Structure 1
């Protein structure tokens, strides 16, 4: 076996996810509903994906973390394709089941952006945990708090970026990117959902690690 084979095996899974995401990205890059908003939404993808690729040799995350990141980025791309406030999840569900989720739960606005903010905390918490463990391992209670606080800080930064972009571009593009849908507390709701997702993920991770420790004993 050549020396390159173990290295190839080590990166086979994240490479497969990367290829899968690029194909998904290309499919949704075709005729998005609002091209300028799609470009703004994809700025984070243009920064994050190369960052993870270029840093993989120095910091190789677990397969679980890469898979969760993949799911989150795919969810984000759906929002970017349709614009977050117009993702037709309810009409798709009605076509499949004849039921309206919005009517069933009493939603008065498109909730897709809320879902993705919740997924931001839920799915990226393991990534944040592994990042801290590799680069700046916290101790004691901070081991559990720092990844959650880190994601909540990122959530706040994204809200500030949205506000700044809406202020700079204004008009239809600014409103599409901001996506408040008339909710004056939109930023606070988004951050609260990201925090909730991160806390749930941290509790699940703590429970899973506790069970592994007990099983190991």
Structure 2
């Protein structure tokens, strides 16, 4: 019972920190309409997480990973993805611009968010599916990330068909790249592969350590 209470408290503090971050991103919004549209998905994600956690408590690590992704999405939404001033941040803090360092010609914060989607959700889905699918849970997790990424890109396409061209470009953040949707899906899938691989490796290492300890050592 004490452990359950501690878990609930950690989750409450984590959600509180996330809400504060979202509130900060809304201070004097630059693109209020577009930011609100992006945050419609943030609200859906947060409500879904809370409801699922109430029905069946989500492990804290999974809970945290989901909120990390939503936090990155919230930061990106303030600058509608295409104008996140990370070059100004690194120039102010470290004296160099990331784009100059890597030779980038576009704002790549959207790529980071798509990568984080795979990195964060891949292990979460794999862990959730493991009891039912066993060794196939890793494959299914990557498939879920790829499928939902494709659905999101279709959603963006629907937005682009509905809104005026300028508003669609501002929301989608393609920055003139005709292959933007394909690259986003590929990066999210790569993130899922990496995230699941790291998570499985960590569990295997923990299992090996546990077996070695139970066997009376073996590390000397």
Fold shared, TM-score > 0.5 on shorter chain = yes
Unaligned runs of 5+ in 2: 212-220
- Relative to the length of structure 1, the TM-score reads 0.92
Superposed CA offset, 1:25-55 (max 9, x none): 1111222221111011111111111111122
CA contact 1:125–1:202 (8 Å) conserved in 2:
yes
Distance of 1:193 and 1:184 partners within structure 2: 16
Q: Which runs of 4+ in 1 moved over 6 A?
A: none
Distance of 2:134 and 2:120 partners within structure 1: 23
Q: RMSD in angstroms over aligned alpha carbons? A: 1.6
Q: What secondary structure, in the 3-state scheme, does the structure 1 residue paired with 2:63 have?
A: helix
Distance of 1:203 and 1:54 partners within structure 2: 28
CA contact 1:61–1:127 (8 Å) conserved in 2:
no
Superposed CA offset, 1:162-210 (max 9, x none): 1111110123221111111011100010011001100001111121111
Q: Which residue of 1 aligns with 2:160?
A: 166
Distance of 1:193 and 1:82 partners within structure 2: 21
Task: Please state how far the C-alpha of 1:82 moved relative to its aligned partner.
Answer: 1.1
Q: Which residue of 2 aligns with 1:27?
A: 24
CA contact 2:31–2:78 (8 Å) conserved in 1:
yes
Q: Which residue of 2 aligns with 1:124?
A: 121
Distance of 1:7 and 1:116 partners within structure 2: 31
Q: How does 1:22-101 map to 2 (within 5 A)?
A: 22-101=19-98
Q: What secondary structure, in the 3-state scheme, does the structure 2 residue paired with 1:51 have?
A: helix
Distance of 2:129 and 2:87 partners within structure 1: 38
Give the count of matched residue pairs.
211
